[in-house]
Amino acid sequence: MTKIPAPTREDWEHLATNLTFTNQAFINGEYVDALSGATFACESPIDGRILTQVASCDAADADLAVKAARNAFESGIWRDLPPAKRKQILLKFADLIAKNRDELALLETLDMGKPIRFSSSVDIGGTARAISWTAEAIDKVYGEIAPTPTNQMGLITREAVGVVAAIVPWNFPLLMASWKFAPALAMGNSVILKPSEKSPLTALRVAGLAKEAGIPDGVFNVLPGFGTTVGKALALHMDVDTLAFTGSTAVAKQLMIYAGESNMKRVWLEAGGKSPNIVFADAPNLEKAAEATAQGIAFNMGQVCTAGTRLLVEASIKDKFVTLVKAALVKWQPNHPLDPNTLNGAIVDKQQLSKVLGYIEKGQQEGASLLAGGEQAFQESGGYYVQPTVFTDAKNTMQIASEEIFGPVLSVLTFDSMEDAIKQANDTIYGLAAAVWTADLNKAHKTAKALRAGSVWINNYDGGDMTAPFGGFKQSGKGRDKSLHAFDKYTEIKATWLSFE
């Protein structure tokens, strides 16, 4: 069999010239304009050009979508399907996403600026895997029977919670969305997906694929628009039962307030992070650890909630290890996202670029030493690029080491003992992820146990798959995406007690 060559940059650019952009909201099985007729410009961070004008939904559109979702839920058209039947439809949905991988990957890259190689493999490939894994699991989630006297029976069952609003971020637009809508749909709920205004295009496109797969009208809706309008309206809506969110800690806190001000809806939050990457002197492979450190800060242009933004390295190897990290970052220099060899693309928009550059300036003002990067790149392109940046001599009291930057900026701190490393690692309001590099099994387990983080990786960074839950401690949020634990967010648990004569 002849092997088909991988697409080149020219191939992707040619495909882009023939690409059409789905730019309307999707409500009750139909693509529609916002009721107000308002739109917003969807800009590509690759070169600053406007891709399309997207419907800008508001409270009126939210109300329309919630009514459609509620009607679909109450009708039982989806909720009452046997789990095996919902599984078949969701598997078809995943298959359609996989079949349209190139189109969806290109939309993700043009819209958000990430390298096409990762849009295809990580984002779109991961989305299809997330939906299919979740679908395969749904008819294997059992209820329980309580231990009762012989003349009684206690049934413990899971039921769909109702209408779920999912507000998702711009950094992994479709992948993060699938972590929420897949289990919500699998459990029989109706879903309203609110993508970020910075990267709405793939969510809008897959809405049509959901219908093609057989998901009934009203069960899966997509509302593009701004968080301050349609996002707020969904959070305050009296007929939304559950709100699932990924984004900043500040917005997460506000959504909890909205839930309390409305119907006390369940709120599940995956918020910010400032993850420590701890490298002990006895790490089994310092070169591997350095490569992972570079990837941990530069992947997705540092726009990752679990990015290893704080490198805690044992003082005795600090100079040697930082030199290895600096060398490893060479291949992570920004380049055109449609080049298949590119690892580091564009920052999502001008606002985020300004934020990142502002933190780099602040780091120098605070007294940290700029070791590498720190400059904007490819300004002639009209796009938004920045070099991976490394600061040494950082402290947790500095803003660059304590605040979530969401850009490729690494703060290097040192420690002298396991206890010191743990103390510094936990000295943060966040608790999303952490990594430990050591050949000492006891030290690895003791450190991992002591770290206040939802995910701890030992001798790797960003490990795991759909079988492992994802979420954080402290102000990194509550609830878990992925794994069987994700189903807990989208169900009510009912106890039914029977007595026999």
- 41 found inside a domain: yes
Give the pLDDT mean for 196-211: 98
- 342 found inside a domain: yes
Segments of 82-162 assigned E as strands = 144-146, 152-160
Angle at 98 between CA 97 and CA 104, to 5 degrees: 60
Decide if 404 contacts 248 (C-beta within 8 A): yes
Decide if 276 contacts 425 (C-beta within 8 A): yes
pLDDT of residue 1: 55
Residue 334 and residue 441 in one domain:
yes
pLDDT in tens, 385-402: 999 999 999 999 999 999
Residue 318 and residue 239 in one domain:
no
Q: How many helices (H) and strands (E) would you count in the chain?
A: 16, 24
pLDDT in tens, 108-136: 999 999 999 999 999 999 999 999 999 99
- 363 found inside a domain: yes
Query: Which of 245, 170, 192 shows the shortest CA–CA distance to 64?
Result: 192
What's the number of domains the chain is made of?
Answer: 2
The whole-angstrom distance between residue 444's C-alpha and the CA centroid of its chain comes to 27
Give the pLDDT mean for 326-343: 97
Decide if 386 contacts 377 (C-beta within 8 A): yes
| 160 CB neighbour count, 10 Å cutoff | 22
Residue 221 and residue 365 in one domain:
no
Residue 89 and residue 139 in one domain:
yes
Give the pLDDT mean for 389-417: 98
> Reduced to 3 states, what is the DSSP secondary structure of residue 142?
coil
366 is catalytic: no
Q: Which is the catalytic residue, given 42, 108, 197, 305?
A: 305
pLDDT of residue 13: 95
Q: Which is the catalytic residue, given 43, 197, 270, 404?
A: 270
- 113 found inside a domain: yes
Give the pLDDT mean for 280-285: 98
Residue 99 and residue 172 in one domain:
yes
Residue 264 and residue 280 in one domain:
no
Say which residues have a Cβ less than 8 Å from residue 73's Cβ, sequence separation at least 6: 79, 160, 162, 163, 189, 190, 219
Does the pLDDT value for residue 291 go beyond 70?
yes
305 is catalytic: yes
φ and ψ of 333, to 5 deg: -70, 145
pLDDT of residue 304: 97
Token reading at 162: 């109702």
Residue 74 and residue 146 in one domain:
yes
- 125 found inside a domain: yes
Does the pLDDT value for residue 43 go beyond 70?
yes
Residue 236 and residue 173 in one domain:
yes
Residue 301 and residue 416 in one domain:
yes
* Element spanning 457, H or E: strand 455-458
How many CA atoms within 13 Å lie on the side-chain side of 435? 26
Say which residues have a Cβ less than 8 Å from residue 409's Cβ, sequence separation at least 6: 297, 302, 309, 356, 359, 360, 363, 389, 391, 400
What global pTM score does this model have?
A: 0.96
Rounded CA separation 303/468 (Å) = 22
Residue 345 and residue 489 in one domain:
no
Decide if 184 contacts 164 (C-beta within 8 A): yes
pLDDT of residue 15: 94
Residue 15 and residue 142 in one domain:
yes
Does the pLDDT value for residue 4 go beyond 80?
no
Strand 389-392, strand 369-372: pairing:
antiparallel
Q: Report the sign of the C-alpha dihedral through residues 71, 77, 80, 85, in that order.
A: negative
pLDDT band at 250 (very low <50, low <70, confident <90, very high): very high
- 456 found inside a domain: yes
For tokens 């069960």, what's the residue? 219
Give the pLDDT mean for 86-105: 98
Give the pLDDT mean for 349-375: 97
Return the CATH number at 288: 3.40.309.10
Token reading at 289: 């650890």
How many CA atoms within 13 Å lie on the side-chain side of 358? 11
Average confidence score pLDDT of the chain: 97
Q: Report the sign of the C-alpha dihedral through residues 336, 338, 342, 346, in that order.
A: positive
Q: Is 471 exposed, middle or buried (0-12, 13-18, 19+ CB in 10 A)?
A: buried
How many CA atoms within 13 Å lie on the side-chain side of 142? 2
Strand 409-415, strand 310-314: pairing:
parallel
> Reduced to 3 states, what is the DSSP secondary structure of residue 495?
strand
- 484 found inside a domain: yes
Residue 219 and residue 344 in one domain:
no
Rounded CA separation 197/173 (Å) = 10
Q: Domain range spanning residue 147?
A: 9-271+477-495
The single-letter code of the amino acid at 1 is: M
* Element spanning 371, H or E: strand 369-372
pLDDT in tens, 363-383: 999 999 999 999 999 999 999
For tokens 């120098």, what's the residue? 364
pLDDT band at 6 (very low <50, low <70, confident <90, very high): confident
- 351 found inside a domain: yes
Packed helices 125-138 and 173-186: angle between N→C axes, nearest 10 degrees: 10
Give the pLDDT mean for 252-273: 97
Return the CATH number at 131: 3.40.605.10
> Reduced to 3 states, what is the DSSP secondary structure of residue 61?
helix
Does the pLDDT value for residue 346 go beyond 80?
yes
pLDDT of residue 2: 59
